[in-house]
Structure 1
Amino acid sequence: MATTTHNPTNTLAKKSRLVTFALITALGLLLIGEAYFGYRFHQLSYEQKRMKEDYSLSNNITFGIFSVDRWGEKISAVVDQRVKGFKLTAKQKTEMRKGIEKELHGLVNKAVSEVTKPQKTLGGKLKKFAFNSIVDVDELHAQVPSFAKTIVTKITSPTSLKRLKNVAASKVDELEEQTYDSTDTTITTVEHNIYKKYHVAGAAAYDRLVETKLAQIRQDTFRCTWGILASVAIALTLWLFLRKQVQLHVPLFVMSLLFAVVLLAVGVSAPIIEVDARIKTLEFALLGDKIVFNNQVLFFQSKSILGIIGTLIEQPKPDAVLVGVLLLIFVVVLPLFRIVARGIYVSCRNFFGSQKVLRFMAFDLGKWDMADVMVVGTTMTYIGLNGILKSQLSGLNIKNDTLTTVTANNSALQLGFFIFVAYVVYAKVLSFIIKRIDEKNAPGKQSNMEYATNDGRD
């Protein structure tokens, strides 16, 4: 009876291949998860950016505090409200009656003195004689209070007050029409397009919609950020558990590099810094009421690393273009090039005759990688810019009986910046790992590739 012999080496090789396949499959699924979170993060970041840009446009200070039309509308509304709500109190009616009585007494005295003064003509003397014979001056003065009361009653009647209010309102409207600037048409067009875009009827509904949507976007973006970082953390954690499984280091490192690619892509494409300076509230006292402007945006910009590079390259100045090109090379291209070079060096460097160039790209090219410098530069820029904005905006804070202004500096580093920082840290960890792998593959030691190849041959 024939017996079947099992080669232990073949069994180990098959087991090794199965473990490698399982590792690649698991990491592949994790990589897909990271890529999905990265894609959603990118979408949400730009949706937030577009929404804030639209909001900053509709609430731009040019279309608000600096607009004569806006001031005219608000002043007209205050005056109209005062005119339409105008009512005379009993005290005011009494004071009005006293004033009218005083004027009537003055008119009587003036008329009497005019008629009773010495006359030179015959007609004048006859008028004076007739006046003294017929008119009783004391009786005229006695009738003044009743005349004054009748006048006040007539003036303060609902019909008269309504007529007076209409006259005053028409004059205010006429003045408003005569006071205008060139922003009215632009404001109307901008607001119409934005309200139509977001399917809202007016400014109040638009503000509520923006506030609600931005809050939801922030929550979703945070979830995506944690998803990305958790995926990378799991990939790094596997190195702790598999640090002694030399045959798995090559596929694990190559997959780890793919995680770095996703981090880099998200980090350079998502907004990293946002500059938002605005007048939060302006209140101007007028006729016992307040003219209020809210959230008047002075300046808003949200930029990604690629956005900053694109802005520099589009500048007409050669020095700005040069800086943009250098940033593109040293912050985007070289890091990506290093990732590819490291993957080739670890997985298939034996296919290359001379490894000096490949080794230089995998190890020494890191001296020219400026991703970490970009992190420091962005941080310093934010700190400096934030300090300048706070200093300048503090000078616009005013509080007195007539005018009150409150400014706000909403500038902040965005989550895209922290994703890019995560890439820089992750790249440093991978640099440490590849050096350890290279040390194990030094001359006189069996390389990972040779180990895996021998497993297959045996």
Structure 2
Amino acid sequence: MTTQQPDTQAKKSGLSNIILIIGLSILLCGEAYYGYRLRQNSIEKEQIKEDYSMVNNITFGLFSVNQWRDKISEVVNRQVTDFKMTAKQKKELQKEVENQLHGLVSKTFAQINKPQKSLKGKLTKFAVKQFVDPKKIQAQVPSFAKTIITKINSPASTKRLKSIATSKLNQLEQETYDSTEVANDAVIKYISKKYHVADPVEFNDRINTRLAFINKATYNSSLAMLACVVVALGLWLIMRKHVRLHTTLFVMSLLFAFVLLVVGTTAPIIEVDARIHALNFSILGEKIAFENQVLFYQSKSIIGIIEVLIKQPKPDSVVIGALLLLFVIILPILRLTAKGIHILANDRIRKNGVLRYLAFESGKWDMADVMVVGILMTYIGLNGILKSQLSNLEIHNDVLNTMTENNTALQPGYFVFVGYVVYAIILSVILKRITPNDTII
């Protein structure tokens, strides 16, 4: 009877462990799936925004001679095509023509009335004095001016003048260009082929819709991951008195932490996006606008930051990158592994000094929590600098109106990494409580 009771308890314990493993495995698969979706969505978002920043880069917009040429030419062409002289303009132009004609008549008679030495000059002077009255000529100037203005405003003359102006403008357009034209054409061909769009305007519309969807999906995935971890932690409260299940529960909890660490270090943690949202000004009574001019864009994960540092030519950057790799990624993995081995191993292996140190005392060398604070401080400082600099570009008056936009933000990868840090601390506390006799004194 006594022998059967332990056997029954062992069977119940084994069955409970199996059920617990199955349940937590399903939950772990859910966390891993959402982590995978978060990672994939983050990669897609990063690629899309890189393409977006390339297409809308200020080099191909506000700083492009070609863009200015096209926009100004469009305005001038429209002004020339739609030009029609008003009554007021006709009156002012007629007055100007009259002044010119009066001056011309006066100069002509003054030239004729000068002393003439040649016979031809003397005969001309005599004939003019006898047959031409300067006052009558001057009196006819207004009618001459009116005739000229009427002729200028005739449909044929207007068409001819517009044609001359347009041809000169087209010639000026052909002579005005910069070196970005080839690069801009290559970019447009690239996005047209990749995204199946006709032009940058269609690309921007489609991408903005897609980015909104990806942002929502990414944050939902990160929340789902953290929810899975919270559920796993909740099981500790429920099963805190079921000692025989602690080993299984702890090992599975370590796997949850490992997934958080992988996703938190590979997904983007911060995104820097500064742009001129709109620049509007008036020329010839019409508005010229530049929109979504990207000044700077960059998105990095912890792995990405480490990779950039290690690839730098400066030794100090390489050292910093190597230290981050060691204390933010490698050491946390070693700590999780050591905790798992410690909880599963026999007493002889548990007494190994290196294993016990990694499992219980190496937390002071783990820089993951420091990284969390460092990223947050970097974000606060960088965001403040960008806001200050962009505010200097804000101009609002009757001629020029500019609006800047700062989309710098912490990304879901950061919150997942924060979740890992908090979760890892909780697991360390749990390990010390379920193995009170194994800690280093």
Task: Calculate the TM-score normalised by the size of structure 2.
Answer: 0.94
Question: Is contact 1:284–1:292 with CA below 8 Å preserved after alignment?
Answer: yes
Alignment-derived partner of residue 337 in structure 1: 334
Mapped to 2, the partners of 1:370 and 1:347 lie a distance apart of 26
Give the letter for the 1:257 counterpart.
Answer: L
Deviation at 1:136?
A: 4.3
Alignment-derived partner of residue 253 in structure 1: 250
Alignment-derived partner of residue 230 in structure 1: 227
Alignment-derived partner of residue 148 in structure 1: 145
Alignment-derived partner of residue 161 in structure 1: 158
Alignment-derived partner of residue 434 in structure 1: 431
> SS where residue 439 of structure 1 aligns?
coil
Mapped to 1, the partners of 2:116 and 2:358 lie a distance apart of 122
Mapped to 2, the partners of 1:49 and 1:424 lie a distance apart of 25
Mapped to 2, the partners of 1:121 and 1:441 lie a distance apart of 131
Mapped to 2, the partners of 1:78 and 1:237 lie a distance apart of 66
Deviation at 1:342?
A: 0.5
Alignment-derived partner of residue 107 in structure 1: 104
Deviation at 1:441?
A: 7.3
Alignment-derived partner of residue 43 in structure 1: 40
Give the letter for the 1:80 counterpart.
Answer: N
Give yes or no for the alignment of 1:369 onto 2:366. yes
Q: 1:116-148 CA deviation, whole Å, 9 max, x = no partner? A: 445444333322332333334444344333322
What does 1:2-401 align with in structure 2 at a 5 Å threshold? 7-350=4-347, 352=349, 354-401=351-398
Give the letter for the 1:363 counterpart.
Answer: F
Change (3 A) 1:308 1:127: same
Mapped to 2, the partners of 1:106 and 1:370 lie a distance apart of 89
Mapped to 2, the partners of 1:232 and 1:253 lie a distance apart of 12
Mean CA deviation greater in 120-129 or 228-237? 120-129
Mapped to 1, the partners of 2:365 and 2:92 lie a distance apart of 87
Deviation at 1:260?
A: 0.3
Question: Is contact 1:88–1:156 with CA below 8 Å preserved after alignment?
Answer: yes
Mapped to 2, the partners of 1:22 and 1:298 lie a distance apart of 55
Deviation at 1:6?
A: 9.6
Mapped to 2, the partners of 1:5 and 1:339 lie a distance apart of 40
Mapped to 2, the partners of 1:5 and 1:181 lie a distance apart of 94
> SS where residue 274 of structure 1 aligns?
strand
What does 1:413-428 align with in structure 2 at a 5 Å threshold? 413-428=410-425
Question: Is contact 2:69–2:176 with CA below 8 Å preserved after alignment?
Answer: yes
Mapped to 1, the partners of 2:50 and 2:102 lie a distance apart of 68
Mean CA deviation greater in 264-273 or 433-442? 433-442
Deviation at 1:384?
A: 1.5
Mapped to 2, the partners of 1:320 and 1:5 lie a distance apart of 67
Mean CA deviation greater in 102-111 or 244-253? 102-111
> SS where residue 352 of structure 1 aligns?
helix
What does 1:396-415 align with in structure 2 at a 5 Å threshold? 396-415=393-412
Task: Calculate the TM-score normalised by the size of structure 1.
Answer: 0.91
Question: Is contact 1:349–1:355 with CA below 8 Å preserved after alignment?
Answer: no
Aligned alpha-carbon RMSD (Å): 2.1
Deviation at 1:105?
A: 3.0
Deviation at 1:302?
A: 0.4
Mapped to 1, the partners of 2:271 and 2:299 lie a distance apart of 4
Task: State the identity %.
Answer: 57
Runs of 5+ unmatched residues, structure 1:
443-458
Mapped to 2, the partners of 1:116 and 1:319 lie a distance apart of 92
Mapped to 2, the partners of 1:208 and 1:324 lie a distance apart of 39
